[in-house]
Amino acid sequence: MEFTEPYKQTGPCCFSPDARFLAVAVDYRLVVRDVVSLKVVQLFSCVDKISSLEWASDSEYILCGLYKRPMVQAWSLSQPDWTCKIDEGPAGIAYARWSPDSRHILTTSEFQLRLTVWSLVNTACVHVQWPKHASRGVSFTKDGKFAAISTRRDCKDYINLLSCHSWEIMSVFAVDTVDLAGVEWSPDDSAIVVWDSLLEYKVLIYSPDGRCLFKYLAYESGLGVKSVSWSPCGQFLAVGSYDQAVRTLNHLTWKTFAEFTHAASIRSPCNAAIFKEVDDPWQLDMSELCLSDGFSRNMQDNGAENGTEGGGSRVKYAVMDVPITLPSTKPATDKPNPKQGIGMLSWSSDSHYFFTRNDNMPTALWIWDICRLELAAVLVQKDPIRAAAWDPTCTRLVLCTESPHLYMWTPSGACCVNIPLPNFRIVDLKWNSDGSCLLLKDRDSFCCAAIVSALPEEGPDQSDESSEDE
C-alpha cells in the first residue's frame, strides 16, 4: 500500500462524489484538496468552527454546517467568490443536507419545529412543519425525483411525499408506528421501509401511495430494531435487532428467509474462517512500504525510536479452530441505550456479503454470505472496532480499531497492514467513490492510502494459513 504524509484536520472530511476532490475541515477553514496530489485547490473561511460537511451530488458546491452559531454556509468550487449563508434566526439549525438536484438545501430547526427547503436558484423557500427527527427521517429516491419526510403531529407519525422539482407535497399518509425511528426508500424506488423505536419491534413496508405492503414483528416484550439496511440490488432488507440477530427479508413477499445469530461461542459445524489478531514483533523494514515524496526518509529517521506508534511492531491474523469463545461484555441494565445488539450493518457493493458488529462483542466483525446463507468469516480484533467500510468497486472490506494498523478482508483471506506514521491511530475511514483511495482519520490528522497490490484472487486454504502485514 502507498501512504501519504499526514495533514491536519479538526472535523469532518469527505470525498467529492466525482472522486476528484477531498474537503477537509480545519477549525473555521474549509480546505479542498486534489485527491491525487493532495494539493490545496481552494481555501474558504467560514464564520465559525465547521461541524459538518457535505458535497452536492454534482461536486460543484460544498455545504458547511456551523451548528454552534447556528448557521449554514455553502461554497462553489468553480466560483470562489460565490457564497451562500442560511440563518434561521431564533429557530436555529440542528442539521442541514443537500437535495439530489444540488440546487436546494434542506435545514431542520432546533426542537424539530420545521424543515425548510432553501433554493440556490431563487429566494423561494418551502416549510414542512414538525419533522420527526433532525438528521434522520428524510430519504430521497435514487432517481432524485421524490423525498419522503417523516413528521409527527397529534401524537401520530406521518410520511410526507414531496416532489423534488416543485417541492410540493404530493401526498401524506399515517404510518402504524408508536415512535418512528427511521425511513428509507428501497434502491429501486418501489417501496419505503419504516421502523419503530427500540421499545417496539416493528418494521413496516409501504408503497409510495401509502398502502402498507407488509408488517413485520419478530418478537414482542423486548428491545426492538437497532439497524436497517437495504442491499444495493434492492432484493434484500436486513434488520438488525437488540436480540443480537439479523433477519433478512426478500423484496417479493417481504417474508423472512434467513436469520443470522451472533452467539458468543462458535462451534462445529462451521465453514467460516475465524481470523484472530495477534502480536508479531519485528524491526521496521521500510522496503515493505511505499511512501510519497520525502516522507519515506522522515519515517526511516523516526520509525525505530517511536516503537509501536511509529510502526515499529506489527500484528498478524492467526486462523483459529472451532470451538472458540468470542470476547463479550455484559451491558449495564440500569443505563439507557445498552451496548447490545447489531449496531453496525452494511452490504458489499455486489450484495453478496454483509458485515455486522454485535455491540456487546465490540472486538468481533461478522461477515455473512447471503448466497449460501451462512457465516463466511469472523475477524476477532484486540481492540473494539471503530469503523468498517466496503470497497465500492469490489468485495474488499477494511476496518480500524484506533490502532496503528489497518485490517482488510476479501473472500480470499485477510491481512493486517501497519501504518508507517508516528502516533497515528485510525479512528475512522472512508473510501473514495471509485475505490482508488482510502481516507484514514486520526484524532487531529488524516492521510490517504492507495492499494497498489490486491490480495490474491486464489489464496491458500484459509483454514491452514495466517495472513500477515502487507
pLDDT at position 297 over 90: no
* HEC per residue, the chain: CEECCCEECCCCEEECCCCCEEEEEECCEEEEEECCCCCEEEEEECCCCCCEEEECCCCCEEEEEECCCCEEEEEECCCCCCEEEECCHHHCCCEEEECCCCCEEEEECHHHCEEEEEECCCCCEEEEECECCCCCCEEECCCCCEEEEEEEECCEEEEEEEECCCCCEEEEEECCCCCEEEEEECCCCCCEEEEECCCCCCEEEECCCCCEEEEECCCCCCCCEEEEEECCCCCEEEEEECCCEEEEEECCCCCEEEEEECCCEECCCCCCEEEEEEEEECCCCHHHCEECCCHHHHHHHHHHHHHHHHCCEEEEEEEECCCEECCCCCCCCCCCCCCCCEEEEEECCCCCEEEEEECCCCCEEEEEECCCCEEEEEEECCCCCCEEEECCCCCCEEEECCCCEEEEEECCEEEEEECCCCCCCCCEEEECCCCCCEEEECCCEEEEEECCCCCCCCCCCCCCCCCCCC
pLDDT at position 159 over 70: yes
In this predicted structure, what is the pLDDT of residue 133?
A: 96
| Overall average pLDDT of the 21-39 stretch | 97
Percentage with pLDDT > 90 across the chain = 83
pLDDT, tens digit (0-9, with 9 covering 90-100), for 439-449: 999 999 999 99
All domains of the chain, ordered by start, with CATH? Answer: 1-86 (2.40.10.480), 88-216 (2.130.10.10)
pLDDT at position 302 over 80: no
pLDDT confidence bin for 282, thresholds 50/70/90: low
Averaged pLDDT of the chain: 90
pLDDT, tens digit (0-9, with 9 covering 90-100), for 78-127: 999 999 999 988 889 999 999 999 999 999 999 999 999 999 998 889 99
pLDDT, tens digit (0-9, with 9 covering 90-100), for 175-229: 999 999 999 999 999 999 999 999 999 999 999 999 999 999 999 988 999 999 9
Name the pTM for this structure: 0.88
pLDDT, tens digit (0-9, with 9 covering 90-100), for 448-461: 999 875 444 444 44
